[in-house]
Each structure stands twice: as structure tokens, then as C-alpha cells.
Amino acid sequence: MSSGDYVLGVLGLAAVTVSLALAGRSLRRVLVPGWSGAPALLADAVLAIALLVAVGELLGLAGVLTGVTLVLGSLAALGLCAGLTRGRASDGTTMREAPPVSGIELGIAVALSLLVVAQWAGPTLLALDRGIYGGDSLWYHLPFAADIAGTGSVTHLLFTDPLYLNWFYPENSELIHAGGILLFGNDFLSPLLNLGWLALALLAGWCIGRPYRAAAPTTAAVAALMAADLMFSRQPGNANNDVAAIALCLASIALLVNLRTEAFERRALALLPAALAAGLALGTKLTVVVLVLALAVGVVAITQQGMRLRIAGVWAAGLFGGAGLWFTRNVVVSGNPFPWVDAGPLSKPEELQGRPEFSIAHYLTDTDVWGNYFRPGLEERLGDLWPLVLLVAVAGVAVWLLRGTRLERMLAAVAVVAAVGYVLTPLGASGQEGFPVGFRLNIRYLAPGLALALVLAAIPPRLGREREAWWRWSALGLFALLLFVSDGVLGSLDGDRLAGVVAVTAIAAVPAALYVLLRRGAPRLALAGAALAAFCVIAVAGRAAQSDYLELRYSTAAPDYPRGAEHPATELDQGLGAASDWARETGGERIGLSGTTGSLFQYGLWGGDSSNRVRYVGVRGDRGSFYEPSGCEQWATAVNSGDYDYVVTTPVYDQDDPESAAAPEQRDWIASDPRVRRVAGAGLVDVWKLDGPLDPALCPLP
């Protein structure tokens, strides 16, 4: 990528970011007038994200989503919002007043937040050294983003594999990744995006505690959760979107608790930013479905009788605006907004082919499972003090159920419903009967409800000024203890990339410093100049980082290339690493992919600029179903119908024993055709160049 292309990408990114930020600010001034400080910044961010998703969806529905149209669409959104809101700002304020926060509390909250940023900087820099290797990122997050960028459409279904129906997942985060690919011509921004979601989660945590003078403890609660292995092991430097969904859920709750009571009951539109945040979370990750729906019901339930219909309408509009496209697509294609489950008359188009589905409830009284799977999994994901983490969460919910206002009791009830939903989730303890090997990975399904419970625990109930101060400081100390002792945040800092970690942390501190200076009356013009100077320095450094990233991205020669016991070293050693080396030098090719090992780790095959079109060789059924071909002749026919330039054959994947992989039968099928030649590969993976359609008559006899 040339320096000129990079400059255009930076300018495009600046145009999109600034225009949507200003558009969000214009909308916020009308929807929640009189807001200022951190809640206003949070509302601006939520509305800007909503506008970004809306612009991408509208352009994608028309099939014209490109980097240029994204910039033009963002500028048009600014013009439209500025025109619609000009002169319409309401008098008064809809924001709850908040007691001041001491400088010591503010300093502790900022320090803990920056410590988590420093922790997350390590995996982020690792991804910039070698590429993203998170399992779900390689499997579908990044392929979905590359497919949106390549097709310019949000209506196309990318069938990644014949296992899980993941092409029906909501794709808000993938749409944002696609925007980065379109602006820069590559996925350079993708390893960095989750740092932005982390910042949004920490800001939301601060805002939740703000009306209770507990902003520092609630920020510490969010920081402790984000530093735990539950989030740290899979989110930073990846395209996994659990952190995005949690951040948006916390933002929705923060915007709710900062509304004045009279605004909550008399001004329905003031709820729209909170509803949009919840809708964006629902349009990002299915793991928040229970929490978001419970929150929607709860908001309507605590509203005065005469306002419930209007509140329900506004909340429904926010949910649909944030997630409606994806679930409407599912209904159109499959007849079911949730095609993974049978819901009354709504059936799923096919049975899922992954691990057997068992819920945690299935094993609640099984002491062997608790000893062999649940306890070790909780200790790994939540740290050595995991019983304390869960006890604090339960205590926080219990306190607010007993002593809270209507709003606070409702939020505590939402946390309870989310926990019950987690216990009943079919994949919560997936695996063969008595062997729930999927529990450890899927503890992340608990994270949204756990985040809400922990921030509630950080807020003191009404006990009198002295006791509330004691509660705040105790909560702050408790979450700092969890951060340092249970999460071991200092031990998880990347000492090998210390200079880069310091640089990323310093960059993260710049917006906070500018904001504090603005609140303290520093001249706006001087701050704008400082922000511009910081942006230029970051942009120059970004060019060097991008050059290094693109040079060794998904290369077996990259530093810290996955080896040994690191996931997915086994699959790469079986030949996917060599196939990715080959794909790095390609672009714009149509590649057929065979074998579930390849499908689950496919993104390296999309090429150096993510422009290859990788499609799994399969058979499409009714209502959006997708199947493995039943034999050589059907497989050859499927290859021919895809009009591929290349076919990559990989083994069948056994997620419980990846090392048991054997040579795929498709290798023998395709090797017998004279119009095919092997051009790359190693081990169990081969890359074949097609010089014409396959001849099914050459298939070996059964």
C-alpha cells in the first residue's frame, strides 16, 4: 500500500469520524437537552455509532457501499442532522445532577483504566506484528467484514461452513470492520477497534456511577471485568465482539440512569439514545438477547401507565434501528428471526452440527462436572478469587432489589434474568454428556449480566453520607484488589513490547487529558490545536505500524507466529499456514474452500488486502440452510457452480481433538482431474489451480 493510499485512508477516516461525531452531537442536543460532561460524551458516541451503522446499512442495502460512498454518506448524515435539529433544542435539562467526584477518586479511576489499556495493548501489538489469530475472528467475524467490503452489500449471505448457521448472526461489528477495510484498502484498523470498545465500556461504567457519586468504583468494576481472562484472552487484538456488545449494554444503562425522573416519564424521546445503544448491542451479539429484551420490558414496566405505549414505541424504534436489519433478513430468508432455535410455529432450517447442546442447568447438581469442568473453568476465566467475584455480583443485585428505586430494582431484576438466561442457554455447557468441554469458552455468555451486577455492587445504597463514603471506598479497593490479585493485570503486561505498550497507553490518555482540560476552562482553540497535533503524530506513527503489519500479516515468517501449544498452531502446522503464505500474494481471486478445518480458520486465505472471495464448497438448501456435499460427484458439481479460480482442500475438523485430522478425501477426488494442478500447500492442505470445470465422471467409484 502506497503512502498516498494511506493518507487518503486517514483523511477518509477523519471525515467519517468527525462528521458523525458532530451529527451525533446535534441529535443529542435535541433528544436529551441540557446534557454536559461525560454523559453527553457517551450519548454523542452512541448516536454517532448508530449513524455509522445506519449509513453502512442503507448503502449496503443498495449494494453501493464503498470507501467513497461511506465518506459521502457520513457527510450527508451530518448535513441532514444539522438541518433537522437546527433551532429545535429544548429548554431546560433532562440530565440528573451529580455530586462532585474528588480528585483522588478521579485519579484512581483513570489510573486503573489506563492500566487495563496497557494490558490490552500487548495482544493488540501482537496482532499488528503477525495478524489476527482469534478463532471466531478467523472463522466468521473477519470473513463477514471482508465479504461486505468486497460485495458492497449487507444482504449477501456468506456460507462459511456447514455447521452453525452463523451467516444469520447480526453483523453490526463486522459492518464497522468492513468500513475500515473500505477506507484503507486493507484490515489495518481491525486489530485496533476493540480498544475503542474498551474505552466506551469504561466511559459507560463511569457514567453509571456518576449520579450516585460512585463513578470511580463503577469504573473500577468494569476495569476488573475487562482485565479478567474472560475478556482479556479473546478480545484485545481480535475481531471478537463480546466487548462491543457489553460496552453498548453498559452505555444503554448509563444513559438511562442519568435521565431525570420527570424526563423519563414525560419525554419519551429522551429514551431513544438508551434504546439505540441496546439495539446496537442486540445487532452485535446474540449473547445479549436476554438482557436487552429484559431491559426493554423493564423500562416499559416501570413507566407510568399513561406513558407506556409511547415509551414502548420509542424503545422498539431504538431496538429496530440498532438491530432490525439483521433479524428482518433472517425472517425473509428463513422465516424465523432466530433460525438457530425452534420457537413455537417458527422452526430452524437445519440442525446444528457442532457439539451436543447442554445447558448449565443440566449439570447443576452434578458434583463431578463441577469439580472437573465448572470450577477449573471459572478459576481460569474469572481468576483465583472467582468465588468473590460471583459473591460480589450476587450481593450487589440483592441490595438493589431490596433498597433501590423503581429504576434500580428493575436493573437488578434484569441482571437476575440475564443470569438465569445464561444458566439455561443450550450451549452454556456444550459437549458430550458428562463432558461439557464448551463451558470454559462459553463463560463469556455470562459477561453482559455479570458486568451489570458488578457495577450495581459498586454503587452504595442510601445509608447516609458517611456509610455511603465507606461503601464507595471499599468497593474501589475491592475491585482494585480483583484487578491486581485475581486478574493479575501486572503479570499480563507484555514486557517484550514495553515501548509500544507505553505508546498506546499514552495515546489513550490524550483524549482524557483534553477532556479534563476542557472541563476546567482551557481555551477551546488551544485544545483543538493540541488535538490536531496529536492526530498528526498518531497518523505518522500509524503509517509505520501499517507497513510492518502488511509486510508480515499471516506469514509464517512473522515474529511470534503461533507455534507449539498456542492456538491455532496445530491447524496452521497441518498446512493452513502454508496456504496463507500463498494467499498473501494473491488478490481478487475466487477461492473454493473444502473441509471444516479450513472453514474455521479461513481468513488468511482472503489475501493480503482481504480482496479474495472465499466460499465454502457446499450445497445450499431451503430457507438459508447449507450442507456438505454428499459425495464426489455432488462436490465436483458444487465446485463447478462456484466458478472458482482455485480450490483449497483441508481436513475435517474435530474441535475436541484437532491433532487427529487426516488427509481429506477431496484431495484424491480433485487430483485425478487433468484440468487441475497443485500450486501450493503443505501437510494435509493443498491449493489447486483450476484450468477448467471438473469432470464428475472422473470421480472414483464408491
How confident is the model over 179-221, as pLDDT tens digits? 999 999 999 999 999 999 999 999 999 999 999 999 999 999 9
Q: What is the Cα–Cα distance from 295 to 85, expressed in whole angstroms?
A: 29
Could you tell me which residues come within 8 angstroms of residue 131 by beta carbon, excluding any fewer than 6 positions away? Answer: 549, 552, 553, 554, 555, 558, 604
* 584/470 same-domain check: no
pLDDT in tens, 571-585: 999 999 999 999 999
CA angle 49, 132, 562 (to 5 degrees): 160
Task: Please report whether residue 457 resides in a domain.
Answer: yes
* 579/470 same-domain check: no
Indicate the range of 255-264, 393-402, 403-412, 661-670 predicted with least confidence: 255-264
pLDDT in tens, 101-151: 888 999 999 999 999 999 999 999 999 999 999 989 999 999 999 999 999
pLDDT at 255: 97
Taking residues 157-172, report their average pLDDT. Answer: 94
Q: Which of 460, 486, 512 is the last residue of a domain?
A: 486
How far is C-alpha 88 from the chain's CA centre? 35
* 471/605 same-domain check: no
Task: Please report whether residue 513 resides in a domain.
Answer: no
Residue-level length of the chain = 702
Give the structural domain span for 51.
3-85+111-486
Q: Are 232 and 60 in contact (CB under 8 A)?
A: no
Strand partners, 646: 591, 689
pLDDT at 702: 64
Q: Which of 449, 466, 486 is the last residue of a domain?
A: 486
pLDDT tier for residue 646 given thresholds of 50, 70 and 90: very high
Could you tell me which residues come within 8 angstroms of residue 308 by beta carbon, excluding any fewer than 6 positions away? Answer: 300
DSSP 8-state symbol, 267: -
Annotate 538-557 with b (16+ C-beta within 10 A) or e (fewer).
ebeebbebbeebbebbbbbe
* 465/588 same-domain check: no
Query: In sequence order, which ranges of 32-141 are alpha helices (DSSP H)?
Result: 37-61, 67-85, 103-130, 135-136
Q: What is the Cα–Cα distance from 350 to 628, expressed in whole angstroms?
A: 12
Indicate the range of 101-110, 420-429, 511-520 predicted with least confidence: 511-520
Q: Which triple of cell numbers denotes residue 400?
A: 438493589
For residue 515, pLDDT beyond 90: no
Burial class (CB in 10 A: 0-12, 13-18, 19+), 420: middle
Q: Which triple of cell numbers denotes residue 292?
A: 436487552
Q: Note every long-range contact of 565-570, with CB atoms under 8 Å and residues 24 or more positions apart, other chains counting.
A: 567/133, 567/135, 568/133, 568/135, 568/138, 568/601, 568/658, 570/658, 570/659
* 358/253 same-domain check: yes
pLDDT at 350: 78
CA-nearest of 700, 631, 644, 636 to 668 is 700
* 454/581 same-domain check: no
Q: Are 651 and 691 in contact (CB under 8 A)?
A: no
Task: Please report whether residue 505 resides in a domain.
Answer: no
* 580/454 same-domain check: no
Taking residues 226-231, report their average pLDDT. Answer: 96
* 482/580 same-domain check: no
For residue 326, pLDDT beyond 90: yes
pLDDT at 18: 95
Coil, helix or strand for 672? coil
Task: Please report whether residue 557 resides in a domain.
Answer: no
pLDDT tier for residue 3 given thresholds of 50, 70 and 90: confident
pLDDT tier for residue 374 given thresholds of 50, 70 and 90: very high
- Residue bearing the bigger pLDDT, 169 or 98: 169
Task: Please report whether residue 105 resides in a domain.
Answer: no
Taking residues 398-417, report their average pLDDT. Answer: 95
pLDDT tier for residue 51 given thresholds of 50, 70 and 90: very high
* 474/580 same-domain check: no
pLDDT in tens, 338-370: 998 887 787 878 777 777 889 999 999 999 999
Q: Which triple of cell numbers denotes residue 191?
A: 486489530
Q: Which triple of cell numbers denotes residue 329?
A: 433478513
- Strand pairing of 676-682 and 685-690? antiparallel
Q: Which triple of cell numbers denotes residue 350?
A: 437445519
Task: Please report whether residue 27 resides in a domain.
Answer: yes
Task: Please report whether residue 50 resides in a domain.
Answer: yes
pLDDT in tens, 669-691: 999 899 999 999 999 999 999 99
Q: Which of 443, 469, 486 is the last residue of a domain?
A: 486
Annotate 488-509 with b (16+ C-beta within 10 A) or e (fewer).
bbeebbbeebeebbebbbebbe
* 574/468 same-domain check: no
pLDDT at 265: 67
CA-nearest of 204, 216, 203, 202 to 100 is 216
pLDDT in tens, 444-496: 999 999 999 999 999 999 888 888 899 999 999 999 999 999 888 999 999 99
This prediction has a pTM of 0.96
Phi and psi, residue 489, nearest 5° = -60, -35
For residue 394, pLDDT beyond 70: yes
pLDDT at 572: 95
Total of domains in the chain: 2
pLDDT-above-70 percentage for the chain: 98
Q: Are 96 and 408 in contact (CB under 8 A)?
A: no
Task: Please report whether residue 667 resides in a domain.
Answer: yes
For residue 566, pLDDT beyond 70: yes
pLDDT averaged over the chain?
93
pLDDT in tens, 607-630: 999 999 999 999 999 999 999 999
Q: What is the Cα–Cα distance from 17 to 23, expressed in whole angstroms?
A: 10
Burial class (CB in 10 A: 0-12, 13-18, 19+), 262: exposed
